[in-house]
Amino acid sequence: MERLQKILAQAGIASRRKCEELILSGQVEVNGEPVTTLGVKADPAVDVITVKGRPIKSESKLYLMLNKPKGVITSANDPQGRKIVSDYLPGIKERVYPVGRLDYDTEGLLLLTNDGEFANLLTHPSHHVPKTYWATVKGVPHGSSLEKLQKGVLLEDGITAPAELEYHDVDTAKNQATITITIYEGRNRQVRRMFDAISHPVILLRRIKFGDLTMHGLARGKYRHLTPKEVEQLRASALKTHKIQK
């Protein structure tokens, strides 16, 4: 017997948190009975579990890395008709969803999976998996401004965790700088808001690393499957940082 949200996540329905929302909103049934509270357990080998009236089924687990272009959203669909990440996954019939998000104007390394437990492990706030970005910003931030980001800067949703920063390039003619920044959280548009907070708005933002994983050799708009070793390394990274934070 397993908790219902865990069964749904393992079946590739969505992340565990999204599965909890599906349960609370009454969209999940077990043996014909709606379940609207968390903590209910079931046996997927015996019980008939449906989501929105459709029985769940186990899928083979997929772990993908996409070099997301700018101007693409990470939603499953878009009423405005913009490009979505699934447009860049030819040959993938399984329903996969992003591990975290990159906003419309941000490009770079995006993980996708149908393994809800894996997605939850990498995105849970207590695990602090590092994510590294290449940020080109307006102006050239001086030392005291960067120290604010390194120590934690106050945003509307609280103070950020300390970040790691390093100058990559300074273009005095264009009055802009490119800085590598590593964060250990996953707040909405966090890197952009951090640089806004020190009055150096982002011009171009690209994620170049997730844990120890890089996009080496992967062209923009292309994807590849992660190797079993890479999947295990990401799991280990999440578990390691979680242990350190305790």
What separation in angstroms does the CA of 14 have from each of 9, 46, 113, 114, 132? 5, 21, 9, 7, 25
Q: Which residues are catalytic?
A: 103
Rounded distance, CA 43 to CA 3, Å?
Answer: 9
Tokens for 237, please give them.
């990274």
Q: Measured between alpha carbons, how far is residue 228 from residues 61, 62, 182, 211, 235 in Å? A: 11, 10, 25, 15, 11
d(CA 77, CA 149) in angstroms, rounded, equals: 34
**8 Å CB contact between 75 and 84:** yes
Rounded CA-CA distance 180/222 in Å is: 23
CA 114 to chain CA mean position, Å: 13
Sign of the dihedral defined by the CA atoms of residues 77, 81, 87, 92, in that order: positive
CA 137 to chain centre: 23
